[in-house]
Amino acid sequence: MDGFVDEVNITVEAGDGGDGAVAFHREKYVAAGGPDGGDGGKGGDIVFLVDDNLNTLIDFRYKRKFKAEHGENGQGGRKSGKSAPDLVVKVPRGTVVSDKNTGRIIADMSGSQPVVIAKGGRGGRGNAHFATPTRQIPRFSKPGFKGQKLDLHLELKLLADVGLVGFPNVGKSTFISVVSAAKPKIANYHFTTLIPNLGVVRASDEGSFVIADIPGLIEGASEGVGLGHEFLRHVERCRIILHIIDVSGCEGRDPKEDFEIISRELRNFSEELADAPQIVAANKCDMATEEQIDDLRKYIENKGLKFFAMSAATTVGTKEIVDHLYQKLRELPPLKVYEPEPEPIWETAEKADQSFEITEEDGVFFVEADWLEGILRTANMEDYESLQHFQLVLKSSGIIDALKDRGVKEGDTVSVCGWEFDYVE
């Protein structure tokens, strides 16, 4: 089990945008060059990309945090800061990416196109943008916007057309080894298969399909008993379920009871999965009597399911099953893809969570708001117009009204994120 990891939590953090610059053009013989502060560069995105050389999420056990670079700050001369490169994270095909905190599906990495998972922040505007006929010397700029930070849940759901299910030791691994090039471990004891095995089955000169050997299910698998629960997710995408049953009963089991137990476990795990097309293959028919085979055939066909008898060990009957699966797959819709769910509105640092907290101690009103720190960082409080801009932010965010509600009076001291000023009506 140590070599196969199909579920993991990680954190990704896109880069912040660079701050806009406050600068003024200086040139010999030019009296008033005017503002020429450049914009900040964009922060790097976090981009996921499928790598078919990967078949497990084990690498994420050892590195769980991915952080892109920040954009560079703007410079004088209207020079924009350099945008940061995207951070590309490679994942195995079939990885479903969701928000760990909300469960929202962000991306299904089933295709080959890169997907932006977390967006880097835009760069802030330099003071050159804020010059107007009445404000010719703006001494303030805009900070870069924060990059997205997300706690992610990665879950690998294998991309296979056909999923093999059944009790341990019924011959699933033997079947996949004789119909494909896959070489699973085969032995005469339970739970030989500890990881899902994928095999490509060549059904004709023109067509092929992918089959997955899922580790054996047992009663209670859908509730976490045995190995089955950990791997049921890998048959969720399958277009056909191939249920393999030991018809010989050589281990003292009842084939009909086995069929009912596995069907119940599939339904307990997912109604949609249980309703998927299902074919039953009675294996080890070379060790069973005709009466045993006919009895099981009638039982399965009475349920409206297609029944095949085979011996995977001697390959008797396996070609007929492969041909039937291929023809059936041609009639069915393509593999299930999990559609991304709508992204909540992601706004800039100035417009996002504008929550704040006001406390009063010894006549001083303290205002704490994380989102204000970036604005303070690029404001020049010794400049009248820059100060006016900051006051406008305090009014539009509701901080001024909240201070009035708390009883602030003209001349009282107000401290905003550590910057103090005398309140003026």
Query: Using CA atoms, how far apart are residues 116 and 415, in angstroms rounded to an integer?
Result: 39
Helix (H, G, I), strand (E, B) or coil at 47: strand
Find how far residue 240's CA is from the centre of its chain. 26
* Residue whose C-alpha is closest to residue 154's, from 75, 245, 54: 54
Q: What is the pLDDT of residue 359?
A: 82
Query: Using CA atoms, how far apart are residues 383 and 137, in angstroms rounded to an integer?
Result: 10
As beta bridge partners, residue 264 has none
pLDDT > 70 in the chain, percent: 81
Q: Which residue has the tokens 């699933």?
A: 172
- For residue 390, give every residue at least 6 positions away whose Cβ sits within 8 Å of its Cβ, in sequence order, or none: 140, 375, 376, 379, 381
Q: What is the pLDDT of residue 319?
A: 92
Q: Which of 23-32, 150-159, 261-270, 288-297 has the lowest mean pLDDT?
A: 23-32
Find how far residue 85's CA is from the centre of its chain. 21
User: Which superfamily does CATH assign the domain made up of 1-157 to?
Assistant: GTP1/OBG domain (2.70.210.12)
Average pLDDT over residues 250-264: 87
Q: What is the pLDDT of residue 343?
A: 62
Query: Using CA atoms, how far apart are residues 396 and 371, in angstroms rounded to an integer?
Result: 14
Give the model's confidence band at 74: pLDDT under 50 very low, under 70 low, under 90 confident, else very high.
Answer: very high
Domain regions of the chain by residue span: 1-157, 162-331, 357-422
Mean of pLDDT over the chain: 82
pLDDT tens-digit readout, 182-208: 564 443 444 334 466 778 888 776 688
Higher pLDDT, 230 or 67: 67
Average pLDDT over residues 348-361: 65
Give the model's confidence band at 353: pLDDT under 50 very low, under 70 low, under 90 confident, else very high.
Answer: low
Region of residue 292 (phi > 0: left; psi between -120 and 50: alpha; otherwise: beta): alpha
pLDDT tens-digit readout, 28-63: 654 466 788 899 999 999 999 999 888 788 889 889
347: pLDDT strictly greater than 50: no
Distances (CA, A) of 160 to 28, 98, 169, 284, 321: 71, 21, 21, 25, 16
Helical (H) or strand (E) element with 420: strand 419-422
Query: Using CA atoms, how far apart are residues 222 and 268, in angstroms rounded to an integer?
Result: 6
Q: Are 37 and 22 in contact (CB under 8 A)?
A: yes
Average pLDDT over residues 380-403: 80
Average pLDDT over residues 305-320: 94
Average pLDDT over residues 395-406: 89
Q: What is the pLDDT of residue 65?
A: 97
Give the model's confidence band at 87: pLDDT under 50 very low, under 70 low, under 90 confident, else very high.
Answer: very high
267: pLDDT strictly greater than 60: yes
Average pLDDT over residues 319-326: 93
Distances (CA, A) of 317 to 115, 178, 242, 286, 302: 43, 11, 14, 11, 21
Distances (CA, A) of 83 to 42, 105, 124, 141: 5, 28, 12, 18
Do the domains spanning 162-331 and 357-422 agree at the CATH topology level?
no
Average pLDDT over residues 326-332: 92
Q: What is the CATH topology of the domain spanning 357-422?
A: GMP Synthetase; Chain A, domain 3 (3.30.300)
pTM over 0.75: no
Q: Are 350 and 111 in contact (CB under 8 A)?
A: no
Query: Using CA atoms, how far apart are residues 283 and 280, in angstroms rounded to an integer?
Result: 9
- How is residue 9 annotated by DSSP? E
Average pLDDT over residues 274-282: 91
Q: What is the pLDDT of residue 388?
A: 78
Greatest alpha-carbon pair distance for the chain in Å reads 108
Q: What is the pLDDT of residue 152?
A: 97
Give the model's confidence band at 218: pLDDT under 50 very low, under 70 low, under 90 confident, else very high.
Answer: very low
The CATH class of 162-331 is alpha beta
Distances (CA, A) of 379 to 168, 382, 386: 68, 9, 6
